[in-house]
Amino acid sequence: MPHEVTLITGDGTGPELAEAARRCVDATGVEIRWDIQEAGVEVMQRTGNPLPESVLESVRRTRCALKAPITTPVGTGFRSINVYLRQELGLFACVRPCKYYAGVRTYYHGVPVDLVIVRENTEDLYTGVEFERDRPETTELIDCINRLSRDRKIKTGLHETGVSIKPISVSGTERIVRYAFQYALENGRQRVTAVHKANIMKHTDGLFLSVARRVAEEFQGRGIEFEDRIVDNMCMQLVQKPELYDVLVLPNLYGDILSDLAAGLVGGLGVAPGANIGPEGAVFEATHGSAPKYKGLNKVNPTALILSGVLMLRYLKEHDAADRLERAVATVIGEGKYVTYDLKPDRNDPTAVGTREMADAICRAIAR
């Protein structure tokens, strides 16, 4: 039976990337019925809503979506369309593989970087529980903080201050750490590293670390090592010796930051796929922006969204097709002939091809 998949075309360069990724996925021979949906600033200009309910309804029905980049409108109630989608659909696990492909320009050329960021998606500072400065409720909260600080003999200068709340729960942590271990088992990974700042934030990151250690005990004897790293040290470790790390599991904010750092190791967001997975579905997306200045120019690199299609095929249990598509991407990048300007040794190389032409080359490589 064919798979039903929602294709969210996005805006800016999103529609071009969506079309390129769709063609490459179809070229694997897997039968997919695409339900095409629109979201973003261009939809908002027509309808007043950047994320129509029809998009959410489609994803709830198909339980699987491939999403091109979306511009978050400025000055609306949406902090981020991407964050809203994850929270509304319960997509608690953000999975960001960062793998070096021969031929990609990077300072880490030749270093066998192949790590996966597993980021908790629904808690931490990204819940958006904030208190605006100079409001009565904020003043009361700051007075309480100051009283606690005086009791602990800590001097503070809190005044006219905005405040954010950082919720991290036992259940949310258990869920994401267990997911990281299951991912490691299912994908032949050897080690899970929990990343935290428990030396300072005893009751939030401390909770994350203690729960992670407890969940790790459930997987003893199953071939997966466990360790933990303080987040600032982890940043240094990734710059100095990224090849030593495998699966990293992190709270929301650290996961957001380190996933971009790790993408930088392997060539940038242009080659960084992403998946957001929950108990009732998943959304696969490129992690870069919509680059509206390049809209319609047939110029941007489609690799990240095509590799997100690889993740989607694996989610759909189409493992052979996923492997063939990933090999085709690696082949085209490695040959270096039919690639976009950012994948050339010289970004001004006149032989660089466009989005469509690189997708064409990948489709041909699948058929070899």
From the candidates 11, 35, 124, 126, give the one annotated as an active-site residue: 126
Please state, as a whole number, how many other Cβ atoms lie within 10 Å of the Cβ of residue 107: 9
Question: What element of type H or E holds 6?
Answer: strand 3-8
Tokens of 201: 């934030």
User: Using N-to-C axis directions, what is the helix angle for 355-367 and 319-335, rounded to 10°?
Assistant: 120
From the candidates 124, 256, 315, 360, give the one annotated as an active-site residue: 256
360 is catalytic: no
Question: What element of type H or E holds 96?
Answer: strand 93-99
From the candidates 197, 205, 245, 360, give the one annotated as an active-site residue: 197
Residues in CB range of 152: below 8 A, 6 or more apart: none
d(CA 239, CA 234): 9
Residues in CB range of 44: below 8 A, 6 or more apart: 50, 73, 76
143 is catalytic: no
DSSP-based three-state secondary structure for 165: coil
Scan for tokens 């466990």, then name that residue. Answer: 226
From the candidates 143, 232, 320, 346, give the one annotated as an active-site residue: 232
126 is catalytic: yes
256 is catalytic: yes
Are 280 and 89 in contact, with CB atoms under 8 Å apart?
yes
Residues acting as catalytic residues: 126, 197, 232, 256
